[in-house]
A and B are shown apart, each in its own frame.
Chain A
Amino acid sequence: MKRPSRSTIIIILIALSLAGVALDQNDDLQPLEDLALSVMVPIQEKLISVADGISDFVQTTQEVRELRRRNEELQALADSLMIENVRLKEVEAENETLRRLLKFAEANPTHSYKAAEVKGRVIGRDPSNFLSYLIIDLGSEQGIERGMPVVTERGLVGRITDVGSNWAKVMLIIDPSSSVNALVQSSRATGVVEGQIGEGLVMRYIPQGETVNVNDIVLTSGLGGNFPSKLIIGQVTSVYQRDIEMFQEARVRPTVDFSKLEFVLVITNFLPTEFEKLVP
């Protein structure tokens, strides 16, 4: 069969086109379009779905790469926010502590205070299991002297026993060497609060006949001149009273949590009275 010439093909195509235009004018092309589309549509659908799949795959790959990068960015952001959050919480906690200490200082204007950060947060920086001492970051350079009382907004902590140039040792009231003259707030019964190994505090030498009840508040009495008066020591948890003994005893739970001390106040305008100097 003789192959048609190029010009023949062009003429045929032009003729078909013109015929199509003419048929389309009268909507006579519809059956042909239906036939063409009915064949094309499934193929198109398949092709589109394949193309979509490829496009999705390429896009997904790009997205995964982008998501990884974004994820890394977000992770870094989350890390930095977490660190910032922790820092802010610490600042907030510190702020709260200092605010409470300030409030306490304002409520007790008769004393002047210096805020000191306790170097060790945990009680028992002393290496032994039997002594309860803390070290604070204030010393003689900051005007700290031996015997000065140490408090927090929750109550009495102890007193300074040793002073260096920029450190001081604080003997806690729960140390077995510690004794504080005290009184029961409700009944005004007096006694001496002593520290005990593994026991906390015990109030001794409470005269018989004085009324001491569980939950009574124990304050410093100021007697003896070692501590200012009216500082909170703790709360009575149990009372031991036997008629055959001269005095009653009471177990006292300190209001200060010595294991969580972070900041303390040193009362700098109070020094223990030295009775030897008073004796002529």
Chain B
Amino acid sequence: MQRFNLQPGEIAMSVYAAALLLVTTVIIQTTVMPYVAFLGVKPDLVLLVVISWSLLRGAREGIIWALMGGIGLDLVSAAPFGTCTVILAGLSLLAGLGELSVFRTHLALPLIATLVATLIYDLFFLLFLYMRGCSIVWADTLVKVVLPSALFNVLLSPFIYKALFWLHRRTGPKEMAL
């Protein structure tokens, strides 16, 4: 089974398993999430998964997840192809820096990372739409969509991060006890 480029002794999730997980996430995003939308805003599951995994496993694995998740989203979205992929890839690289942080196991890290990532993701997404000629009322969109979306994602992020942390412990290299 194909695996990521690993250090000796390192165990990682297979690309196929990661792809399956991300495809499932995309399907949930497009089918279930509209039903849990609050005030017309739904959480970005793929973004949460990519950011959490990048924080846990670094940019090297994060970017692969970002590319797979981004392509999945672009395939089903009406946005120009590549929009989601490009933004997610950039964010995964940024979030990958969190892997080096001593606060990696602290719950505040995914919360802050999710907040910042959602704001960047949404603003870049809007920028792409604006460049396509879409009519965007920036202030209203920020207040009515971007901020509620960021809040929604932040509320969900501990659950996603915990779930992926479990997966990380099951599939990642063993950490040395001090």
Question: Given known contacts A169-B78, A176-B129, is B137 in contact with A125 (CB within 8 Å)?
Answer: no
Q: Confirm or deny: B24 has a beta carbon within 8 angstroms of a beta carbon on chain A.
A: no
Q: Using Cβ atoms and an 8 Å threshold, which residues of chain A touch B141? A: 130, 197-198
CB of B135 within 8 A of CB of A194, answer: yes
Beta-carbon nearest neighbor of B34 in chain A: A122
Q: Confirm or deny: B82 has a beta carbon within 8 angstroms of a beta carbon on chain A.
A: no
Stretch at the interface among B8-16, B37-45, B97-105, B168-176: B37-45
Q: Confirm or deny: A123 has a beta carbon within 8 angstroms of a beta carbon on chain B.
A: yes
Report B23-54 CB contacts with A as 1/0, cut-off 8 Å.
00010011101110100111010100000000
Shortest CB–CB separation between residue A133 and chain B, in angstroms?
A: 4
Specify the main secondary structure of chain A where it touches its partner: loop
Specify the main secondary structure of chain B where it touches its partner: helix
CB of B78 within 8 A of CB of A133, answer: yes
Q: How far, in whole Å, are A25 and B66 apart by their CA atoms in the complex?
A: 115
Shortest CB–CB separation between residue A252 and chain B, in angstroms?
A: 14
Q: Confirm or deny: A265 has a beta carbon within 8 angstroms of a beta carbon on chain B.
A: no
Q: Using Cβ atoms and an 8 Å threshold, which residues of chain B touch A122? A: 34-35, 37
CB of A129 within 8 A of CB of B122, answer: yes
Please tell me the size bucket of the interface on B. 20 to 34
Report B132-167 CB contacts with A as 1/0, cut-off 8 Å.
111111001100110001000000000000000000
Number of A residues, CB within 8 Å of B: 26
Shortest CB–CB separation between residue A201 and chain B, in angstroms?
A: 11
30 contacts between A and B (CB under 8 A): A120-B31, A122-B34, A122-B35, A124-B37, A124-B40, A126-B76, A126-B77, A126-B78, A127-B44, A127-B46, A127-B73, A127-B76, A129-B41, A129-B42, A129-B44, A129-B122, A129-B149, A130-B126, A130-B141, A131-B78, A131-B129, A133-B78, A176-B134, A176-B135, A177-B129, A177-B133, A196-B136, A197-B137, A198-B145, A199-B144
Residues on A close to B: CB < 8 A?
120, 122-131, 133, 161-162, 169, 171, 175-177, 179, 194-199
